[in-house]
A = this chain, B = another copy of it.
Amino acid sequence: MSRTVLTREQVLQAADDLVRQHGPDALTMRGLAARLGTAVTSIYWHVGNRESLLDALVERAVEEIGAIQPAGRTPATRIVSVARRLRGELRARPHLIAMVHERGLTERVFLPAQRALVREAHTAGLRGARAAEAVRAVQFQVVGFVLVECARELAPAEPRERPRKTASARKDPALARALARPADPERLFTASMRALVKSLLAQGNA
């Protein structure tokens, strides 16, 4: 697998592959060394230690995501489009996002998109602290949603409890059935994003 000399970039790439596929727990210094055909200690020379290696991967992921262009005609649809695109980017690397999350870097992932959101909030008539609050609400909503969503996918299949017949269930069987089915994240995300944005932007016309 290895060629010529070992470079820091090679180490990062191999680690990235491993983490993306099997998560950070699968990344052991010894295993990585074996994969690269070198001694464990060589890796230390190139990346310092395991922790800073993971940091570098997180850094990479954050940069990869970068800025996102809004699409659509109204500010509301444009904000929702940014949110959906961002969700897509995050979902594409669930393990990395979990790591970004653990490191408390969630806000950083959002910085590139923030400017776009600010612009839309502004054209929707929001100003000052209220605009800032709206932008942040959207950010938290997106990241939070994706975290919940990824956790569900990465976790070993949540044991579904069979729904009990409650009073409300008998009154509205369609509701009970809908809650018994697993949620459709794509649909739920868009719906709740639209709902949130609608309310937030409505404050601008007051």
Taking Cβ atoms with an 8 Å cutoff, the residues of A that contact B are 101-108, 111, 114-115, 118-119, 122, 127-129, 131-133, 135-137, 140-141, 143-148, 151-158, 161, 166, 168, 171-172, 174-175, 178-179, 183, 187-188, 191-192, 194-196, 198-200
Q: A104-B155, A137-B188, A188-B136 are in contact. Are A166 and B115 (CB under 8 A)?
A: yes
Residues in B whose Cβ lies below 8 Å from that of A137: 188, 191-192, 195
- A135 interface neighbour in B105, B145, B179, B187, Cβ under 8 Å: B179
Q: A168-B119, A188-B133, A198-B199 are in contact. Are A106 and B174 (CB under 8 A)?
A: no
- A145 interface neighbour in B144, B166, B178, B183, Cβ under 8 Å: B144
Residues in B whose Cβ lies below 8 Å from that of A147: 101, 144, 147-148
A-B pairs with lowest CB-CB distance, top 4: A144-B144, A104-B155, A132-B178, A128-B174
CB of A41 to closest CB in B, whole Å: 25
* Chain B minimum-CB-distance residue to A201: B195
CB of A192 to closest CB in B, whole Å: 4
Complex Cα distance, B130 from A174, in Å, reads: 10
* Majority secondary structure, A binding face: helix
Please state if A148 and B152 are interface contacts (CB–CB under 8 Å): no
Additional A-B contact list (5), CB under 8 Å, known A133-B187, A137-B188, A147-B147: A102-B151, A106-B152, A127-B172, A140-B192, A144-B145
- A118 interface neighbour in B118, B151, B175, Cβ under 8 Å: B175
Complex Cα distance, B168 from A119, in Å, reads: 7
Please state if B127 and A174 are interface contacts (CB–CB under 8 Å): yes
Q: List 23 A-B contacts (CB under 8 A).
A: A104-B154, A105-B155, A106-B151, A108-B161, A118-B166, A119-B168, A127-B172, A127-B174, A128-B175, A131-B175, A131-B178, A133-B188, A133-B192, A136-B179, A140-B144, A140-B183, A140-B188, A141-B192, A144-B147, A144-B148, A195-B199, A195-B200, A196-B199
